[in-house]
Amino acid sequence: MNPRLSLNQATIKHADLATALSLTAEAGITSIGLWREPVAEVGLGRAATMVSDSGLRVSSLCRGGFFTASDPAERARALDQNRRAIDEIATLAEAGAPGSAPVLVLVAGGLPAGDRDLASARARAAEAVGDLAADAAGAGVVLAVEPMHPIYAADRGVVSTLREALDLVCDLPAKVAGVVVDTFHVWWDPTLPAQISRAGAEGRIASYQVGDWITPFPGDALLSRGLMGDGHVDFASITRLVLDAGYTGDVEVEIFNQELWDADPAQVVARVVKAFDETVAGQL
Amino acid sequence: MNPRLSLNQATIKHADLATALSLTAEAGITSIGLWREPVAEVGLGRAATMVSDSGLRVSSLCRGGFFTASDPAERARALDQNRRAIDEIATLAEAGAPGSAPVLVLVAGGLPAGDRDLASARARAAEAVGDLAADAAGAGVVLAVEPMHPIYAADRGVVSTLREALDLVCDLPAKVAGVVVDTFHVWWDPTLPAQISRAGAEGRIASYQVGDWITPFPGDALLSRGLMGDGHVDFASITRLVLDAGYTGDVEVEIFNQELWDADPAQVVARVVKAFDETVAGQL
């Protein structure tokens, strides 16, 4: 078992927190990426105890963000939600085994309904990260901006490229704001090698997530990710770029895929371990 | 009727060439973007006569390209097909009304089966355009490289951004090699304003196509385009950028959409005219 493998909880979406923690540990995986919803189901205090008891590291919390609203009240609510998420990951990373990462993954959010001004939505996302920086610094949390595949630019994540994410955080301290490199989202980018190097040089790689791009494209854009090896992503090359850029953290497997979600989660975990071993672990 | 509107034949896919020409002319549209398949159905000579009789301009021919094969024989076949396409658009543009554009739209093609080396596939696409340059120059044709939305990077078009397309053609004369700006493919790009300006300054905008990005994303990635106004694209801003960059050619409406393909083509043409009028024409 590669010690840097982390199972992102979304890969076994229908497992509750207790199940996700025990399946991960039983498989010999030593790290987990958590999601806010299953944590909220048991409450933060109880979740922290469960994480502590599991002996697992926490590699990130998904997810904050969704702060592109132009309506002030809606924007204030989004910032408030993000402040709670900052507290949550601070607590959970503290409860996790040594080597846990207080990383909050941020998905920018899409265009407000009827709004076609992408540049302004992007500017609001940047402003929101700035507004959260003091809270993150106070809690010792890293805000990790995740560039999302351009397929999501309209309705989910207006930050589309690694370059854009790096530009967005460049005025904030690297201890407070970084980026997520997720192969599914960035594999196609012709400037990827240069931007991963830049991200490393600027100390910004807060999280490295892996998932494959599969074809034909599944019907639901949200569930279009595949296990590593099932698609077109060159994991060896991208993983090498990330390592060469100095990333020393856990590598999260995060896959939204209906077939995986419908399968027995213990079997999914086993498949994740095997796929990771065949595509990523050799580089680590 | 705006005189710069051109109907790309793919928008009424199931109409044959005769029908497409007559519906376009009857609607008062003065320009058409042709596809190779319906031209081949009647033969090039007959198609040229029909185009000439229609009184329409020809704004482009779709499409050449698909030259990312690593197998030498397959690559040679692809280049041969592209040379035929060059001859076809030269003939068709000659047959069209004055103002016709001898523009061959090139779609790079995807990764060969089982091949995950995107950088090499991109390099082969660049090499292929170079290999066709002399033929294009001889025929007076512009090879127009179309950057495709990253959703197609694996299986259809490895050239993903306008910047990449411009870099790809930059060593060739602008009279021979340019780019297509298609709103559907590039609307999300945070560097779009800079790259459209650059494309104009370098004399590379060979074609401007419009189509909308709609959500939720339709089940079939190939049929995911919408009529202008039905989605998230800011046509006023992008059209202004293209005009400010000096583009003076026709504006093609190219929409792959099952609902449009299933509808009565005459009604589709009427809807195209209305949508163009409401979203693009005001800038022209």
Domain boundaries, chain A: 5-283
Percent pLDDT > 70 in chain B is 100
Task: State the Cα–Cα distance between residues B16 and A160, nearest whole angstrom.
Answer: 39
Closest alpha carbon within chain B to A230: B114
For the stretch B194-223, pLDDT in tens is: 999 999 999 999 999 999 999 988 777 778
A248 touches chain B (CB under 8 A): no
Contacts of A155 in chain B (CB under 8 A): 215-216, 232
Task: State the Cα–Cα distance between residues B235 and B255, nearest whole angstrom.
Answer: 14
What HEC string does chain B produce? CCCCEEEEHHHHCCCCHHHHHHHHHHCCCCEEEEEHHHHHHHCHHHHHHHHHHHCCEEEEEEEEECCCCCCHHHHHHHHHHHHHHHHHHHHHHHHCCCCCCCEEEEECECCCCCCCCHHHHHHHHHHHHHHHHHHHHHHCCEEEECCCCHHHCCCCECCCCHHHHHHHHCCCCCCCEEEEEEHHHHCCCCCHHHHHHHHHHCCCEEEEEECEECCCCCCCHHHCEECCCCCCCCHHHHHHHHHHCCCCCCEEECCCCHHHHHCCHHHHHHHHHHHHHHHCHHHC
Contacts of B111 in chain A (CB under 8 A): 232
Query: Hey, which residues 83-122 in chain A have their CB within 8 Å of chain B?
Result: 111, 116-119, 122
- Residue A213 has its nearest CB partner, among B117, B154, B190, at B154
Asked if the model's pLDDT at residue B167 lies above 90, the reply is yes
Contacts of A156 in chain B (CB under 8 A): none
Contacts of A189 in chain B (CB under 8 A): 150, 160
Query: Please, are residues B48 and B91 in contact by the beta-carbon 8 Å criterion?
Result: yes
A150 touches chain B (CB under 8 A): yes
The pLDDT score that the predictor gives to residue A223 is 80
- Residue B234 has its nearest CB partner, among A117, A149, A234, at A117
What does the longest C-alpha to C-alpha distance in chain B come to? Answer: 49
A33 touches chain B (CB under 8 A): no
Percent pLDDT > 70 in chain A is 100
Over residues A171-195, mean pLDDT:
98
Residues linked to residue B210 through DSSP beta bridges, in sequence order: B253
Over residues B63-90, mean pLDDT:
98
The pLDDT score that the predictor gives to residue B224 is 83
Query: Hey, which residues 186-215 in chain B have their CB within 8 Å of chain A?
Result: 187-190, 213, 215
For the stretch A206-248, pLDDT in tens is: 999 999 999 988 777 778 899 999 999 999 999 999 999 999 9
Over residues B48-74, mean pLDDT:
98
The pLDDT score that the predictor gives to residue A224 is 83
What is the band of B278 on the pLDDT scale with cuts at 50, 70, 90? Answer: very high
Asked if B190's CB is within 8 angstroms of A160's CB, the reply is: yes
Contacts of B221 in chain A (CB under 8 A): 216-217
Nearest-neighbour CA in chain A from B191: distance (Å): 9
For the stretch A86-131, pLDDT in tens is: 999 999 999 999 999 999 999 999 999 999 999 999 999 999 999 9
Asked if B117's CB is within 8 angstroms of A234's CB, the reply is: yes
Asked if B160's CB is within 8 angstroms of A187's CB, the reply is: no
The pLDDT score that the predictor gives to residue B201 is 98
Asked if B190's CB is within 8 angstroms of A154's CB, the reply is: no
A233 touches chain B (CB under 8 A): yes
Closest alpha carbon within chain A to B221: A217
- Residue B232 has its nearest CB partner, among A116, A161, A233, at A116
Other CB atoms within a 10 A radius of the CB of residue B133 amount to 17
Closest alpha carbon within chain B to A217: B221
The DSSP element (H or E) to which A251 belongs, if any, is strand A251-253
Query: Please, are residues A179 and A165 in contact by the beta-carbon 8 Å criterion?
Result: yes
- Residue A149 has its nearest CB partner, among B118, B150, B187, at B150
Asked if the model's pLDDT at residue A1 lies above 90, the reply is no
B239 touches chain A (CB under 8 A): no
B147 touches chain A (CB under 8 A): no
What is the CATH T-level fold of the domain B5-283, as seen in this structure? TIM Barrel (3.20.20)
Task: State the Cα–Cα distance between residues A152 and B35, nearest whole angstrom.
Answer: 30
